[in-house]
Amino acid sequence: MTEFRSLRRLRHRLSGLPRFAVIPALMLGLTLGGCAGDPDPVKVNAMIRNQLEEQTRVQLGEYQSILTELRRTSMCVTTVEVKPEFKRLQAHGSNDGDTPPAPAKLIDPHKATAKERKLIAAFLEAMAPCQPQFAPMATPSNRNIVRVITETWEAQRELYGELKEGRMNWGSFNRGTRANSDKLAGAIKALRLTNEG
């Protein structure tokens, strides 16, 4: 029903390990420029290898912390979504994002009833502890992954807020949820290509 559920599948989209393709030219220039006389190729190669290994350790450590946080979020979201009191909301919402939602759900003109709006408020409150919390990332590709996940979570929470306030019908909510899922999937695919390329 929710884009929150899509975060559970995110770790599958992030399964490729990140790799560095380039050493920053400025750092290499400073390293080589600081050597007196002809640089010893063995020492230069060792310095480059050590720098690459350290950068890879940092990126991989960050990447693993992202996956760990996504696992925590996923378990939290699942725990909330299976609560019996939220079953009524699932009947209206889109499916879990693996396949396109039923066409009727995308054009449902009905707004949430007063009872459903109370349920949505309770659902959002129950979902609050599930929000992913990431430490600052040093690696640009990891910062981008975190940004996309965070923006998608916020966008989905805003959709629920609009639904709860009666400013949006179920069809618009489901279309917005689908758009969030597609945006997340596309961004993650692009980020993986960047990391692997």
Task: Kindly state the tokens that stand for 7.
Answer: 């975060």
Tell whether the torsion through CA atoms of 67, 68, 73 and 75 is positive or negative: positive
CA angle 189/190/193 to nearest 5° reads 90
Residue 28: its pLDDT value, please?
Answer: 44
pTM of the entire predicted model? 0.70
**CB 170, CB 163: distance < 8 Å:** yes
Dihedral angle computed from the Cα positions of residues 78, 162, 183 and 3, in that order, rounded to the nearest 10 degrees: 10
Closest CA to 133 of 189, 66, 75, 51: 66
Are residues 191 and 141 in contact, defined by beta-carbon separation less than 8 angstroms? yes
Contact (Cβ atoms closer than 8 angstroms) between residue 121 and residue 164: yes
Give CA–CA dist 130/144, Å, rounded: 20
Q: What percent of the chain has pLDDT over 70?
A: 72
Whether 161 has a pLDDT exceeding 50, the answer reads: yes
Higher pLDDT, 134 or 197: 134
Half-sphere exposure of 22 (CA within 13 A, CB side): 6
pLDDT digits (tens, 9 = 90+) for 17-72: 444 433 444 344 445 455 445 677 777 677 777 777 777 787 888 888 888 898 89
Cα dihedral: 87, 89, 95, 101 (round 10): 140
